[in-house]
Structure 1
Amino acid sequence: MSLVSVVYKSVFRRSSTFALAIVAGAFGFERIFDPTCDAVFAYINRGKLYDDCKATFAAQGGAEEE
């Protein structure tokens, strides 16, 4: 039995299992894609983000009060 026939019989044969596979796939994709994009953004902008400059702002006394 080939992999294609096993996937067809277990997922694509019924609409309910196909819809569940789509929902589960979207959830899994989101759980992987979001942290990956955050890590790439932090890597590209390292040294420019607040978390990187927090010590500098604390040493200056924070924001000026009016």
Structure 2
Amino acid sequence: MNTISDPGWTKSSYSNGDGGGCVEWGATHAAALDQVPVRDSKDTALPGFTVAAPAWAVFVDYAKSVGV
């Protein structure tokens, strides 16, 4: 997998500091490589994972549709 030194981490709009489980995604990496790195926004030292951009788009659309 190709990588970018700073994937441009963007915190989910649902990461509001209330202790809920939220994610960050690598916007710069996604735009450049069509792969989306994802990690835990509460513990960014944990390893994340990467998904194909179309799969991430389906996930985000689903999350919006069910209100999560």
Would the TM-score normalized by the shorter structure come out above 0.5? no
Structure number with the higher strand fraction is 2
Which structure has the greater CA radius of gyration? 1
More helix by share: 1
| TM-score, scaled to structure 2 | 0.24
Give TM-score, length-normalised by structure 1. 0.25
